[in-house]
Chain A
Amino acid sequence: DAGITQSPRHKVTETGTPVTLRCHQTENHRYMYWYRQDPGHGLRLIHYSYGVKDTDKGEVSDGYSVSRSKTEDFLLTLESATSSQTSVYFCAIRTGTGELFFGEGSRLTVL
C-alpha cells in the first residue's frame, strides 16, 4: 500500500490566520492531490501536482495555494483562513495502476 501521512489530523484556528496542511508520501509517486470534502458536495479538487514544482488548479482553488519542493511532500496553504474553508481535507496520490489512494484526512475548523 502507498504510505500517505497527513498532518495535522485536526486543527482549530481563527479567521484570518494562515494554515498549512502537509501531505507526505513514502513511495515516490509523481501525482499528488488535495481535495476537500463537505456534506452534499462530495469531494472537490483544490490543487494537484504532476511533479516537483509542477502544480495546477482544481475546481475550488480560490483562497488556497500549494507547493511541492520535493517528491514526497505536497503542502496546502490557506493564506488567510475563512469560515467557508472549514472542511475535511484529503490528500491523495495516483498509484501505478491508475487509481487514487487517499490519506486519512485532516479536519480543519475555522472559527
Chain B
Amino acid sequence: AQSVTQPDIHITVSEGASLELRCNYSYGATPYLFWYVQSPGQGLQLLLKYFSGDTLVQGIKGFEAEFKRSQSSFNLRKPSVHWSDAAEYFCAVGAPGGSNYKLTFGKGTLLTVNP
C-alpha cells in the first residue's frame, strides 16, 4: 500500500527566506507524486506533479520539487517566500495504472510567513 509522510506539521519562515517542505513516500515502484496547496476555507490547488523523466519539476507560483528515488522523497522548495504563500501544503502519492487509481495524501504542513 502507498503512504506519505510529511514530518513537519507547522513551519514558520520570514518573508523573503527560502523554504523547503519535506515529503517521504512509500511505494514499491516509481509513483506519481504531487504537491497541493490549500488556503484557509478553500479547496486544493495543484502546485506541481512528477510522473517520470527529469527529477526536478517546476510548478506554479515559483515552486519546485525534486524527486529522489534513493531517499523516497519529493521535497518542495521555493527560493524566496511571499506572505501570500501562507497556507497548508499537502504531498500526495498515486500508483500508476489500473482501475484502482487513487491518491494518498500526507497530513499536511501548515506554513506561516512572518513579515
- Can you pick out 29 interface pairs between chain A and chain B where the beta carbons lie within 8 Å of each other? A33-B103, A35-B105, A41-B107, A42-B6, A42-B105, A42-B107, A43-B105, A44-B105, A45-B102, A45-B103, A50-B100, A51-B99, A54-B99, A56-B100, A90-B43, A90-B44, A98-B32, A98-B49, A98-B51, A98-B94, A99-B34, A99-B49, A100-B46, A100-B92, A101-B46, A102-B44, A103-B43, A104-B43, A105-B43
B99: nearest residue on chain A (CB-CB)?
A50
6 closest A-B pairs (Cβ-Cβ)? A42-B107, A43-B105, A50-B99, A102-B44, A102-B43, A42-B105
* B86-115 with Cβ < 8 A to chain A: 90, 92, 94, 99-108
In the complex, whether A31 has a CB less than 8 A from a CB of chain B is: yes
* A49-97 with Cβ < 8 A to chain B: 50-51, 54, 56, 58-59, 90, 94
In the complex, whether B84 has a CB less than 8 A from a CB of chain A is: no
Count A-side interface residues using an 8 Å CB cutoff: 26
Specify which of B43, B99, B104 lies most central, judged by the most chain A CB atoms within 10 Å of its CB.
B43
In the complex, whether B70 has a CB less than 8 A from a CB of chain A is: no
Return chain B residues, CB-CB under 8 Å to A102. Answer: 43-44
Specify which of B34, B49, B102 lies most central, judged by the most chain A CB atoms within 10 Å of its CB.
B102
Q: Is the CB of A100 within 8 A of B103?
A: yes
In the complex, whether B42 has a CB less than 8 A from a CB of chain A is: yes
Min CB gap B64→A, angstroms: 17
Q: Is the CB of B46 within 8 A of A40?
A: no
B9: nearest residue on chain A (CB-CB)?
A40
Return chain B residues, CB-CB under 8 Å to A94. Answer: 101
A45: nearest residue on chain B (CB-CB)?
B102
- The answer to whether A50 and B90 touch (CB under 8 A), given A41-B107, A98-B51, A104-B43, is no
A50: nearest residue on chain B (CB-CB)?
B99
Return chain B residues, CB-CB under 8 Å to A31. Answer: 101
